[in-house]
Amino acid sequence: MMLPITRRTAIFALGGLGLSAYIPTRNKKNMYPGKLKIGACDWSIGNHSNVEAFYEAKKIGLDGVQVSLGKQENNMHLRKKSIQDEYLGASKSTGVEIASLAIGELNKYPYKSDPQTIQWVADSIDVAANLNCNVVLLAFFGSGDLKGDLSGQKEVIDRLREVMPEAEAKGIILGIESWLSGDEHLSIIDAVGSGNLKIYYDVANSEKMGYDIYREIRQLGNQICEIHMKENGFLLGQGRVDFNKVREAMEEIDYSGWIQIEGAVPPGEGMRESYIANNRFLRETFDI
């Protein structure tokens, strides 16, 4: 009996062909110049929902900042044009780009259950377009965790189905970041049925969950919209994640775009000094 071809089976089929045909003919050097940019999450550099993140990022030597839509107490302030103008002005004056947008408040006010979040996600599409970035991270941790919550996953799927046509029309990618495995993420993407829904991959989260990071990156391929380069309690390169293997996997899927530093500050160490070291490590590892 002929089985129907879904987005997920097509991804696996193409991914399998790509991996079987891959021949490592290129050297490490000169693979990534011009293809990758390095940013950091505004909350990781001490400026959650604060325009000062651009000035801190400039001191660190970053290319961009992943900015937060806001907090519940400031009514997700980036939805205001005046705040958007402040961010655009800071980006222009510092030369630090607005890399992408994130809604971290979904960890406290779950998209799967809190009615106010429906408007947050819908509005984030216009905000991203106005800020000239094309990725919005949707967080699913804490109270918003989807792992093992089938009813919560169903509600998220239903809500995403409603909002994806607008994302598609404006060229905005919504990226799911959660404790789910690669297979579980792909199931949600299949169910929603939009090419503008992708996976926001976090190497440290996957390592913590016991997933095979390097296999998952290859498996997910172009379903990854951005990557958090992260460690918990260590500088990048000094913890549990093998970033040389991460690089190899990214090379195989021909990943390009933003990589964002998150966490990666050892206990007792300063944030700025740690992020200068993390930035240098990534530039050396990826030859940026």
pLDDT at 33: 52
Nearest to 207 by CA among 233, 178, 231: 231
pTM of the model: 0.88
pLDDT at 31: 53
Q: Which fold has domain 36-282?
A: TIM Barrel (3.20.20)
Nearest to 53 by CA among 63, 37, 42: 42
The single residue listed with the structure tokens 């002929």 is 2
Domain ranges (residues) in the chain: 36-282
> Are the C-beta atoms of residues 177 and 139 closer than 8 Å to each other?
yes
> Are the C-beta atoms of residues 228 and 177 closer than 8 Å to each other?
yes
> Are the C-beta atoms of residues 196 and 168 closer than 8 Å to each other?
yes
Kindly give the parts of the chain with pLDDT less than 70: 1-34
pLDDT at 225: 98
- Joined together, the tokens standing for residue 38 give 């390095």
pLDDT at 96: 98
**Mapping DSSP to helix (H, G, I), strand (E, B) and coil, where does residue 231 land?**
strand
